[in-house]
């Protein structure tokens, strides 16, 4: 079945540094990937839609310059949290869409803690 | 390796009837489970959760059942309404707050 690998699964960083999270589709090509942020017991919040070879589409209220998304290939999208602050500490999840079936495959998430 | 599986990609149910969405998992360490509902072009929204100390949790028309020995959970919607038509994802984690593993979703269509 379709697998999306997300790395790292957890990361602790100092305030002011940048962190890169990778999302890879292992056995299918993902033209479109989604990045979500999850708060405890709440809905996944869509941050941005990433399309291969073009600029990401950000949801309202998400800072483009803070959350940099790159989707340079059909199997890899990256989210870079720049100049991280403690309030950026959260759970980030990516998802990839397969067009041959109506299915979204999710990565296992990255827990970011900014200290 | 898909640790959480939703083997039915789609389900159609008549309005007023019961919808039953199923989810299986392989990791016996999972002890917290959630169901999400997703409309097209929107992010998934949290629906209902259950921890492994329970075998049932009810919220209005939605009930989640957990069978730990079978590593199986199900979401029951009674009565089903056309507005329930969406994609439903189950997710599991080993402890609340830890990373979640999602199923691939079941598209529910409630026929008026």
Tally C-beta pairs within 8 A across A and B: 64
**A31 strand-pairing partners:** none
Beta strands in B1-112 (DSSP E): 4-5, 10-14, 19-25, 32-38, 45-51, 56-59, 62-67, 72-77, 86-93, 101-102, 106-111
DSSP strand pairing (A76-81 vs B4-5)? unpaired
| A77 close to A71: Cβ distance less than 8 angstroms | yes
Binary contact (B10, A102; C-beta < 8 A):
yes
Distance between CA atoms of residues B9 and B11, nearest Å: 7
Q: What is the Cα–Cα distance from B106 to B89, expressed in whole angstroms?
A: 7
pLDDT along chain B (112 residues), means of 10: 85 98 95 86 77 93 96 98 95 70 90 96
Q: Is B100 part of the contact surface with chain A (CB cutoff 8 Å)?
A: yes
Alpha-carbon gap: A83 to the closest alpha carbon of chain B (Å): 23
Token pair listed for B96: 């609340």
pLDDT single digits (tens) A88-110: 999 898 988 765 544 677 887 89
Beta carbons of B44 and A44 less than 8 Å apart: yes
Cβ B111 vs Cβ B12: under 8 Å: yes
User: Which pLDDT value is given to residue A41?
Assistant: 58
């Amino acid at each position: 079945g379709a697998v999306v690998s997300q790395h790292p699964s957890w990361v602790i960083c100092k305030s002011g540094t940048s962190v890169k999270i990778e999302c890879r589709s292992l056995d299918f090509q993902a033209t479109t990937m989604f990045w979500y942020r999850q708060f405890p017991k709440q809905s996944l919040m869509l941050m941005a839609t990433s399309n291969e070879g073009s600029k990401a589409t950000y949801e309202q209220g998400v800072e483009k310059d803070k959350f940099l998304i790159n989707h340079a290939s059909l199997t890899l999208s990256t989210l870079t949290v720049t100049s991280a602050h403690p309030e950026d500490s959260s759970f980030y999840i990516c998802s990839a869409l397969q067009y041959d079936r109506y299915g979204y495959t999710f990565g296992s998430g990255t827990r970011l803690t900014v200290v | 390796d898909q640790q959480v599986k939703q083997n039915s990609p789609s389900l159609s149910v008549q309005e007023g009837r019961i919808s039953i969405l199923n989810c299986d998992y392989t990791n016996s360490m999972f002890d917290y489970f959630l169901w999400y509902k997703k409309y097209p072009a929107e992010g998934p929204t949290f629906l209902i959760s259950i921890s492994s100390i329970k075998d049932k949790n009810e919220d209005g028309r939605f009930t989640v059942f957990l069978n730990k020995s079978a590593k199986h959970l199900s979401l029951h919607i009674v009565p089903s309404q056309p507005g329930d038509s969406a994609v439903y994802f189950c997710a599991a984690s080993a402890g609340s707050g830890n990373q979640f593993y999602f199923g691939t979703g079941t598209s529910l269509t409630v026929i008026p």
